[in-house]
Chains A and B, each alone.
Chain A
């Protein structure tokens, strides 16, 4: 595997102001996930800079790199930041952090920042786990669900699938939506099963036919979406009827950018997720910075 198909674009942004110089408090949030790492820096609760990179095998290196990218050409250094909260799978590897914070609170807080106070249901789809969070009207996590053990590593599996299919990860979602009717999903129990079943489909010559290949991708991403529905659906009230998410839904995490997944979830829930003003992948880092 060359690794070229699994890549997603890293990104960063830095405010062109120097408001940090007069800020009373500078905070940062570092989210070290299994697949991607994010940093967000706030000056007096105003977003000042952020970055998102591939985590790789060395979590400590990722932590050092991501904050350096977020601060970029600013004169600001890690030592100038008053409080740095680390979260995510590799939070203990952020050696410069002054505190750690749980992911659920960070994602919830970050989602409110990205989507505004209207958002009440947050669906965070990351490289390792899916988290669904129901927020109180004002200030508290009302209920949350974490995907089960078998759904672990979902985001990373999709990267691997992109590599094996030789379809760029960034195109998978759109390609999957080009089918007329959604085929039945492959196994929805775990990603190894889904992957194995997807490979079986290819043996039938699907790779030679672009349309059929799209169907396979659709079947695979439908399985991923279905698995995620099993997590978010648990937040729904226990009444008779279909899953009803009556609340306002916002996606976060890296998979929020995969339309093949988000559109299918929206379709099954009969709901349109709201648009945010920042990259959804930054939610946990932003939340950590705000809670720092």
Chain B
């Protein structure tokens, strides 16, 4: 028995919608098996992991808080991946963005004026974009693999933040903890009560970004350019589109969004800098981007699904004493399932029994 792929004449629209659903379904089944292997009730585990986070207002609020940065970062990454630019360093861009955005509230804590708020966001976006431009420029100028350089810079950014909060930026009043001073009120994201759920501005920003990216990708020449360069670089050059400029553009854009997302997490949740400011949002966003089929609306849904897995991980840990690391494993599995199911869009899969062509015979 073996699998054989039969190419479809055209992409299957049905499968484009169905493949992420199948992938999520397979993940649910896998989760059940994992829970059962740990000697727990799989159905209770599945309920707690996937549905419990949706059952309370508090859960929905946490969901929005987790999904917001994931969606913002994944949107930027989707433009990179669509145009064949492999930015996997969003975590570093998030960190550098947050550092750049914190310059004002950390170094000028007395400057408490409304103008600080937009300045902080702007500087965060600029910092993330600038940091993302490094691997992009190296790719454009020297042909260096952006995959490896963007990832290496993640480690550098994390270490740089570590040095800052333990060294020059350490709060004099922080009892020697590696933290900066608390941000003043102008550099803080406040939450507002929306039907019992407390949300801040960043969630609104993410929704607006989803809509803007949808329009950009589907309706404008720029979006067309991104899709053409990604699918067929040679045809892109024939259309007069510059792949190099596109590399710089998509990296800068995704870096800016990652920086912005990181800053807003800091402004809303911890309101100061510390050695660790993100639970790996920059890496998880890669899963979100693919689960959302690199489509802005899909990414919105995918961001929510992945946020559920974060909360679900906490829920099973507190209720069933299952390690929350199960969530990370399931996220990795989910990405595999998504990539595997995407095969269905271009191919029909056939099971072939017995002796077949030499592909098996000669191995």
B partners with A: no
Partner-B contacts on A (CB < 8 A): none
Task: State the B residues within 8 Å of A (CB).
Answer: none
